Structure 1
Amino acid sequence: MSESVEKGKVPQLQNFYRGLLRLESIISPIAYTLLALYVRFQNIDKNPDVVWDEAHFGKFGSYYIKHEFYHDVHPPLGKMLIALTEWLAGFDGEFDFDSNQSYPENVNYKLIRQINACFGVACCPLAYWTAKNMGFQLLTVHLIAIMVTLEHSYIVLSKFILLDSMLLFFTIATFACLVKMYTARREPFTRRWKLWMWLTGLSIGCVCSVKWVGLFVTLVVGAYTILELFTLRFDPKVSRKQYFKHWAIRVINLIVTPFLIYLFLFKIHFTLLYKSGPGDASTNTLFQVNLENNEIETGPRTVAFGSLITIRSHGLSPNLLHSHFQTYPEGSNQNQVTGYGFADDNNVWQVRFPRSSELNWEEDYLPDEGSGYITDGSVIRLFHNQQKVNLHTHRIPSHVSRGNYEVSGYGSEEIGDLKDDWIVEIVRQTDSSDPDYPKENYDELHPVSTFFRLRNKELGCYLTSTGFSYPKWGFQQAEIVCKHSWSKHDKSTWWNVEEHWNENLPIDTDWHPPKSRFWTDFVMINFAMASSNSALVEDHDKFDNLATDAWEWPTLHRGLRMCSWSKDSYRYFLMGSPFNTWLSTLSLFVFLAITAKLLYQWKRQTKPMTESTFWEFIIQGVMPFTAWVTHYLPFVVMGRVTYVHHYLPALYFAILIFGFVVDRLLRSSFNWIKYPVYIALFGGCIKTYTYFSPICQGMTGMWTDYIYLEWLKSWDMAV
Structure 2
Amino acid sequence: MSQLRKRGAKKSGSTTPSVAVTGTDVTKEAEQTKVSDSNSVGSKDPESYYYIACAVITILATYVRFDRISFPDKVVFDEVHFGKFASYYLERTYFFDLHPPFAKLLIAFVGYLVGYDGKFKFNNIGDSYITNNVPYVAYRAASAIQGTITVPLMFWTLKTLNFSVAACFLASAIVCFDNAHVIDSRLILLDATLNLTVAMTIFSYVKYSTYRKQAFSRDWWTWLYLTGVSLSLVISTKYVGVFTYLTIGIGVLHELWILLDHKRGLDLNELAYHFFARAWTLIAVPFALYLFWFYLHFAILTKSGPGDSFMSGDFQETLQESADTKSSKEVHYFDQLTLTHLNTDCFFHSHNHQYPLRYEDGRISSNQQQVTCEYKETNAEKEVATNDANNWWEIVPGTVTGTSEFVEVFTEDVVRFRHVGTGGYLLAHDVASPLKATHEEFTIVYDEVAATRFNETLFKLKYTDATQSNKNKRTMIKTHSTQFKVIHVDTVVAMWSHDDEHLPEWGFKHQEVCGNKKVQDNDNSWSFKTIVNLKPEDPRSKYTPKKVTPQPFLKKWWELQFLMFHHNNILTSEHPFASQPDSWPLTLSGVSFWNDNDSKRQIFFIGNVVGFWLEVALIAIYGGIILADQISRRRAVYVLTDKARSRLYNTCGFLFAGWAAHYLPFFLMGRQKFLHHYLPAHLIAALFAGALTDFLCSHNTFGPARPQINAIKLKVFVGVSVAAIAVFFYYFQAITYGDISLTPEQVRSRQWLDIKLHYAK
TM over 0.5: yes
Aligned match of 2:66: 41
The one-letter code of the counterpart of 1:169 is L
Asked whether the equivalents of residues 328 and 481 of structure 2 are also in contact (C-alpha less than 8 Å), the reply is no
Aligned match of 1:685: 722
1:341: Cα distance to partner? 13
Aligned match of 1:700: 740
Provide the rounded CA distance (Å) in 2 between the counterparts of 1:608 and 1:234: 27
Query: Could you report, residue by residue, the CA deviation over 1:306-364 in whole angstroms, capped at 9, with x for unpaired residues?
Result: 34578999xxx99999855599999998988999999986997654322xx441x5xxx
Query: Could you report, residue by residue, the CA deviation over 1:41-96 in whole angstroms, capped at 9, with x for unpaired residues?
Result: 12222432222322322222222222222222322222221122233334332334
Is 1:712 the counterpart of 2:739? The answer is no
Provide the rounded CA distance (Å) in 2 between the counterparts of 1:230 and 1:347: 66
Asked whether the equivalents of residues 391 and 410 of structure 1 are also in contact (C-alpha less than 8 Å), the reply is yes
Give secondary structure in 2 for the equivalent of 1:555: coil
Give secondary structure in 2 for the equivalent of 1:700: coil
Aligned match of 1:642: 673
Alignment of 1:578-617 (within 5 A): 578-607=609-638, 616-617=647-648
Give secondary structure in 2 for the equivalent of 1:211: coil
Asked whether the equivalents of residues 43 and 698 of structure 1 are also in contact (C-alpha less than 8 Å), the reply is no
Aligned match of 1:4: none
1:218: Cα distance to partner? 1.7
Give secondary structure in 2 for the equivalent of 1:563: strand
Aligned match of 1:564: 595
Aligned match of 1:101: 127
Is the alpha carbon distance of 1:709 and 1:319 closer, same or farther for their aligned partners in structure 2, counting shifts above 3 Å? closer
1:666: Cα distance to partner? 1.1
Provide the rounded CA distance (Å) in 1 between the counterparts of 2:685 and 2:71: 32
1:165: Cα distance to partner? 1.2
1:555: Cα distance to partner? 2.0
Asked whether the equivalents of residues 429 and 491 of structure 2 are also in contact (C-alpha less than 8 Å), the reply is no
1:28: Cα distance to partner? 4.2
Aligned match of 1:78: 103
Asked whether the equivalents of residues 554 and 582 of structure 1 are also in contact (C-alpha less than 8 Å), the reply is yes
The one-letter code of the counterpart of 2:293 is L
Query: Could you report, residue by residue, the CA deviation over 1:111-132 in whole angstroms, capped at 9, with x for unpaired residues?
Result: 3322220000010111012112
Is 1:515 the counterpart of 2:550? The answer is yes
Equivalent pairs, count = 664
Asked whether the equivalents of residues 580 and 673 of structure 2 are also in contact (C-alpha less than 8 Å), the reply is yes
Is the alpha carbon distance of 1:592 and 1:645 closer, same or farther for their aligned partners in structure 2, counting shifts above 3 Å? same
Aligned match of 1:5: none
Provide the rounded CA distance (Å) in 1 between the counterparts of 2:648 and 2:273: 27
Aligned match of 1:437: none
Is 1:155 the counterpart of 2:182? The answer is yes
1:154: Cα distance to partner? 1.7
Gaps of 5+ in 1: 1-16, 429-441, 485-489
Q: From 166, 171, 174, give the equivalent of 1:139.
A: 166
Aligned-residue identity in percent? 25
Q: From 61, 73, 89, give the equivalent of 1:64.
A: 89
Aligned match of 2:312: 284
Provide the rounded CA distance (Å) in 1 between the counterparts of 2:699 and 2:99: 47
Is 25-34 or 209-218 further displaced after alignment? 25-34
Provide the rounded CA distance (Å) in 2 between the counterparts of 1:555 and 1:133: 29
Query: Could you report, residue by residue, the CA deviation over 1:486-513 in whole angstroms, capped at 9, with x for unpaired residues?
Result: xxxx999999988778647523725435
Q: From 675, 678, 695, give the equivalent of 2:712.
A: 675
Query: Could you report, residue by residue, the CA deviation over 1:22-54 in whole angstroms, capped at 9, with x for unpaired residues?
Result: 444544444433332122112222432222322
Asked whether the equivalents of residues 163 and 691 of structure 2 are also in contact (C-alpha less than 8 Å), the reply is yes
Give secondary structure in 2 for the equivalent of 1:305: coil
Is the alpha carbon distance of 1:417 and 1:135 closer, same or farther for their aligned partners in structure 2, counting shifts above 3 Å? farther
Is the alpha carbon distance of 1:405 and 1:565 closer, same or farther for their aligned partners in structure 2, counting shifts above 3 Å? closer
Provide the rounded CA distance (Å) in 2 between the counterparts of 1:570 and 1:482: 46
Asked whether the equivalents of residues 602 and 609 of structure 1 are also in contact (C-alpha less than 8 Å), the reply is no
The one-letter code of the counterpart of 2:67 is Q
Asked whether the equivalents of residues 486 and 495 of structure 2 are also in contact (C-alpha less than 8 Å), the reply is no
Higher RCO structure (Cα 8 Å, ≥6 apart): 2
Is the alpha carbon distance of 1:300 and 1:682 closer, same or farther for their aligned partners in structure 2, counting shifts above 3 Å? closer
Is 1:271 the counterpart of 2:306? The answer is no
Provide the rounded CA distance (Å) in 1 between the counterparts of 2:718 and 2:578: 32
The one-letter code of the counterpart of 2:65 is R
The one-letter code of the counterpart of 1:128 is F
1:593: Cα distance to partner? 1.0
Give secondary structure in 1 for the equivalent of 2:171: helix
The one-letter code of the counterpart of 1:205 is S
The one-letter code of the counterpart of 2:539 is P
Provide the rounded CA distance (Å) in 1 between the counterparts of 2:281 and 2:495: 37
Asked whether the equivalents of residues 119 and 166 of structure 1 are also in contact (C-alpha less than 8 Å), the reply is yes
Provide the rounded CA distance (Å) in 2 between the counterparts of 1:685 and 1:387: 73
Is 1:125 the counterpart of 2:152? The answer is yes
Is the alpha carbon distance of 1:176 and 1:492 closer, same or farther for their aligned partners in structure 2, counting shifts above 3 Å? same
1:559: Cα distance to partner? 3.9
Query: Could you report, residue by residue, the CA deviation over 1:619-672 in whole angstroms, capped at 9, with x for unpaired residues?
Result: 422232222223223444534443332321121122223223212211117779
Is 372-381 or 529-538 further displaced after alignment? 372-381
Query: Could you report, residue by residue, the CA deviation over 1:170-203 in whole angstroms, capped at 9, with x for unpaired residues?
Result: 1111222222233333333333222222222211
Is the alpha carbon distance of 1:35 and 1:286 closer, same or farther for their aligned partners in structure 2, counting shifts above 3 Å? same
Aligned match of 1:3: none
Aligned match of 1:261: 289
Is 54-63 or 328-337 further displaced after alignment? 328-337
Gaps of 5+ in 2: 1-42, 466-472, 504-510, 701-705
1:691: Cα distance to partner? 5.0
Is the alpha carbon distance of 1:71 and 1:339 closer, same or farther for their aligned partners in structure 2, counting shifts above 3 Å? farther
Is the alpha carbon distance of 1:40 and 1:232 closer, same or farther for their aligned partners in structure 2, counting shifts above 3 Å? same
Is 1:353 the counterpart of 2:397? The answer is yes
Is the alpha carbon distance of 1:122 and 1:109 closer, same or farther for their aligned partners in structure 2, counting shifts above 3 Å? same
Aligned match of 1:13: none
Asked whether the equivalents of residues 181 and 193 of structure 1 are also in contact (C-alpha less than 8 Å), the reply is yes
The one-letter code of the counterpart of 1:295 is A
Is 1:185 the counterpart of 2:212? The answer is yes
Provide the rounded CA distance (Å) in 2 between the counterparts of 1:691 and 1:427: 54
Is the alpha carbon distance of 1:582 and 1:349 closer, same or farther for their aligned partners in structure 2, counting shifts above 3 Å? same
Query: Could you report, residue by residue, the CA deviation over 1:492-544 in whole angstroms, capped at 9, with x for unpaired residues?
Result: 9999988778647523725435224433332333333334434543438xxx2
Is 30-39 or 451-460 further displaced after alignment? 451-460
Is the alpha carbon distance of 1:211 and 1:84 closer, same or farther for their aligned partners in structure 2, counting shifts above 3 Å? same
Provide the rounded CA distance (Å) in 1 between the counterparts of 2:717 and 2:674: 32
Provide the rounded CA distance (Å) in 1 between the counterparts of 2:365 and 2:562: 30
Query: Could you report, residue by residue, the CA deviation over 1:249-269 in whole angstroms, capped at 9, with x for unpaired residues?
Result: 322322233332222212211
The one-letter code of the counterpart of 2:397 is F
Is the alpha carbon distance of 1:476 and 1:235 closer, same or farther for their aligned partners in structure 2, counting shifts above 3 Å? farther
Alignment of 1:660-671 (within 5 A): 660-668=691-699
Give secondary structure in 2 for the equivalent of 1:564: strand
Alignment of 1:368-383 (within 5 A): 370=406, 372-373=407-408, 380-381=415-416
Asked whether the equivalents of residues 344 and 499 of structure 2 are also in contact (C-alpha less than 8 Å), the reply is no
Is the alpha carbon distance of 1:267 and 1:481 closer, same or farther for their aligned partners in structure 2, counting shifts above 3 Å? farther
Alignment of 1:207-226 (within 5 A): 207-226=234-253
Q: From 233, 242, 250, give the equivalent of 2:270.
A: 242
Is the alpha carbon distance of 1:270 and 1:477 closer, same or farther for their aligned partners in structure 2, counting shifts above 3 Å? farther
Is the alpha carbon distance of 1:535 and 1:99 closer, same or farther for their aligned partners in structure 2, counting shifts above 3 Å? same
**RMSD of aligned Cα (Å):** 4.9
Query: Could you report, residue by residue, the CA deviation over 1:347-384 in whole angstroms, capped at 9, with x for unpaired residues?
Result: 97654322xx441x5xxx654xx5x4557986655656
Provide the rounded CA distance (Å) in 2 between the counterparts of 1:50 and 1:535: 27
Asked whether the equivalents of residues 161 and 206 of structure 2 are also in contact (C-alpha less than 8 Å), the reply is yes
Give secondary structure in 2 for the equivalent of 1:533: helix
